[in-house]
Amino acid sequence: MNFSNISGSFRDPAGQVFENDDRIFRIVKKQGKNRYESIVNKGILEDSISNNFLIKTKEVNNEFKKYINEENCYFLEHEKLDYISYPYEWGFYQLKDAALHHLNYQIFLLKRGFELIDSSAYNIQFLNNKPIFIDVLSIDEYKEGEYWKGHSQFLQQFLNPLLLSSHKGLQFNDWYKGNLNGIKTSELNEVLNLKDKFSLNIFLSVVLLSRLEKNNKIDPKKALAKIKNKNKFSKNSYTSMLLQLKNWIIKLRPKEKKTIWDTYSSENTYKKEEEIKKLEVISKFSRENKPEILVDIGCNDGLYSFESLKAGAKKVIGFDIDINSIDRAYKFSQKNDLNFLPLYFDAMNPSSNLGWDEKERSSFKERLHFDAMLALAFEHHLALANNVPLEQVVAWLMNVAKKGLIEFVDKEDETVKRMLYLKGDIFPNYNKKNFEKNILLKGKIINKTFISATRTIYEYNKN
């Protein structure tokens, strides 16, 4: 049997995740055997799944009998996620919901005599608009008096990025991508001003821990326990600490900061009848193709993604560079319980292969498995705003999915005129004829719809 290891799971000596025949499996190793048996025998696995904390998981030992030995003790199958995303690709409210999911799960487990042994944000994924925990071997029995092992990690990977956005209005995504372990408490402390530090929560969780961290006088994980003069960190103290963090995070909001795309859907340069035409084209395309997973590049607040879902797309992954748009789209998806996941994405600097041996976190390109694509009012941002040659833009877009819709916006469009006002027209090859020529180099033009005198949507199929 061909086991394709999931490289992000290499850190866990208790188990290994692999893919086979489009299914996701986990081997429970000898080191994780007692831990796994404990969570199964005491009903934790079943309760966690039924309460929507943990991804659906089942034993499949019968399928792997010949591979079971002293070292490989159990084989589990996990529900396969449609798309793997990372914390640095989430909006503020997605990271906030992931943090609350982690804390709620910890509280749930503590009541039953168990705990999570780490606080990695990468152990949470999104099923459309809902966070779900994916690492069954991060659960272990709680021992009375133990301090929260993952406290420092939780601050770095969940709380600190949220505080950066809520107090300073700074987007955490690129900082987070630059340090996969999140934002260090000492670094956040440097960014916060005196007024921020008057908050008791911030003083205890940022200022004080930062000083202790810098001076190496005490393990930051144990700092709050020492501060509160606890000889033993009781289960009640542990639970109180989690609840305090939960109540604090619930109140956090991103600091309002208007972006260039905040009102794009309502104040763009095309007319209402043009938008209706676009929606009709998208509806027809989705109805005819019924993609399992459609990608919307430059999704903004999700208008066209939602139309695709209405018309027959099973699931949509949306990407946009504007974090306010991502937050709005995510909240709408939650409110209406849609199969839609919006993510932060800069096409000029997409997620690359990162981490150990450049394999721990997969690039945007390596995670491409979309059935169809929308790229409306997008290509000119690459070709004109960022000087990417038109042939490269078309080739890149057509590599995202084998079929889709791409909108071409020519130089007479008001948006493009604004874009070129200071830069000047230095793009002699940017025209509709060359655009069509480059599509035909890679595939076929199935349909061409004129939205306005300056905008055309092309339906393509890649060879």
Residue 218 lies in a domain: yes
pLDDT confidence bin for 1, thresholds 50/70/90: low
The answer on 119 and 51 residing in a single domain is: no
Q: What is the pLDDT of residue 420?
A: 92
Residue 308 lies in a domain: yes
CATH number for position 276: 3.40.50.150
H or E element: which one contains 462?
Answer: strand 455-462
Residue 258 lies in a domain: no
Residue 11 lies in a domain: yes
Comparing 42 with 212, the larger pLDDT belongs to 42
Residue 62 lies in a domain: yes
Residues whose CB falls within 8 Å of the CB of residue 245, separated by 6 or more in sequence, listed in order? 103, 154, 159, 205
Residue 126 lies in a domain: yes
The answer on 395 and 308 residing in a single domain is: yes
The answer on 91 and 211 residing in a single domain is: yes
**Residue 163 scores a pLDDT above 50:** yes
Alpha-helix residue ranges (DSSP H) falling in 290-318: 303-311
The answer on 246 and 148 residing in a single domain is: yes
**Residue 228 scores a pLDDT above 70:** no
The answer on 274 and 219 residing in a single domain is: no
Q: Residue 450: what are its φ and ψ, rounded to 5°? A: -85, 110
**Residue 2 scores a pLDDT above 50:** yes
pTM for this prediction: 0.93
Residue 257 lies in a domain: no
The answer on 94 and 43 residing in a single domain is: no
What residues make up the domain containing 101?
87-251
The answer on 93 and 223 residing in a single domain is: yes
pLDDT confidence bin for 195, thresholds 50/70/90: very high
Indicate if the alpha-carbon torsion angle 391, 397, 402, 404 is positive or negative. Answer: negative
pLDDT digits (tens, 9 = 90+) for 407-437: 999 999 999 999 998 889 999 999 999 999 9
Residue of 367, 372, 379, 306 whose CA lies nearest to 342: 306
Residue 256 lies in a domain: no
Contact predicate 61/74, CB 8 Å: yes
**Residues in the chain, total:** 463
How many structural domains does the chain have?
Answer: 3
pLDDT confidence bin for 227, thresholds 50/70/90: very low
The answer on 32 and 91 residing in a single domain is: no
Q: What is the pLDDT of residue 262?
A: 63
